[in-house]
Amino acid sequence: MVEHNGVVLVLSGPSGAGKSSLINKIADDIGEYYFSISTTTRPMREGEEEGVHYHFVSKEEFKKDIAENNFLEYATVHENYYGTSLNPVREALNKGKLVIFDIDVQGNTAINNRLGDITTSVFITPPSLSELKNRLESRATDSKEVIENRLKMAKREIQRTSEYEFLVINDDLDIAANVLRQIAITARLKIPYDRINRFVQKWENI
């Protein structure tokens, strides 16, 4: 078989869909992975940690990285920048890791444009908007306003579910984890175009 290579798993879906719980459930079964941490210029909030929730940088640093083409993708939301640095992703891919992104619908488009050959995309959603509302309210970490915003965003994002290869409805956590585990393990089997091309070139001559 062709030697091992890094691949990408994009997870999108509303905050409250259960992405983190699902990743925790399958983490031991999907081999070595790297969870991509986004970079942002927004201020650190209480309870957040540098390098865990985000890499926090100044606007100047962010703009410099844009100019130097250091982002796989970036976007502005409410005058703050959010982006994914290319270097750690490239490094993880070179080590043959599964790189997992928790990223929005726009981010998925950007990643597919750059790394579509090795990317598997999954949209994760709670079974209904009312269930999402319940979950966000019961975890009690967000203000009413933040919850309203998350629900509005969820309504917009779910309209674009069909841009993903897979839709996982997280109703029962164990069932959803079984589905996502299956998808993540198969995601490993994608082979990058450049490696395919090298194989094809060799193919006629050995």
Which residues make up the interface to a copy of itself (CB under 8 A)? 1-2, 117, 125, 127-130, 155, 158-159, 161-162, 165-167, 169, 171, 175, 179, 182-183, 185-186, 189-191, 193, 196-197, 199-200, 202-206
Nearer to a copy of itself, 49 or 204 (CB): 204
Rounded to a whole number of angstroms, the minimum distance from the CB of residue 197 to a copy of itself is: 7
Nearer to a copy of itself, 89 or 122 (CB): 122
- 3-state SS, residue 159: coil
* Residue 56 amino acid letter: F
How far, in whole angstroms, is CA 27 from its chain's centroid?
A: 15
Measured torsion, CA atoms of residues 68, 91, 96, 18, in degrees rounded to the nearest 10: -80
Rounded to a whole number of angstroms, the minimum distance from the CB of residue 83 to a copy of itself is: 28
Question: How is residue 63 written in tokens?
Answer: 């703009």
Rounded to a whole number of angstroms, the minimum distance from the CB of residue 18 to a copy of itself is: 14
Rounded to a whole number of angstroms, the minimum distance from the CB of residue 137 to a copy of itself is: 17
Q: What Rg value do the Cα atoms of the chain yield, rounded?
A: 18
Rounded to a whole number of angstroms, the minimum distance from the CB of residue 195 to a copy of itself is: 9
Question: How is residue 133 written in tokens?
Answer: 């509302």
**Those residues with Cβ within 8 angstroms of residue 60's Cβ, 6 or more apart along the chain or in another chain:** none
| Residue 149 DSSP label | H
Strands 98-102 and 71-77: unpaired
Nearer to a copy of itself, 67 or 206 (CB): 206
CB half-sphere exposure, 154, CA atoms < 13 A? 22
Nearer to a copy of itself, 55 or 195 (CB): 195
Nearer to a copy of itself, 57 or 100 (CB): 100
Rounded to a whole number of angstroms, the minimum distance from the CB of residue 6 to a copy of itself is: 16
Nearer to a copy of itself, 66 or 189 (CB): 189
Nearest-CA neighbor of 183 among 122, 118, 93, 127? 122
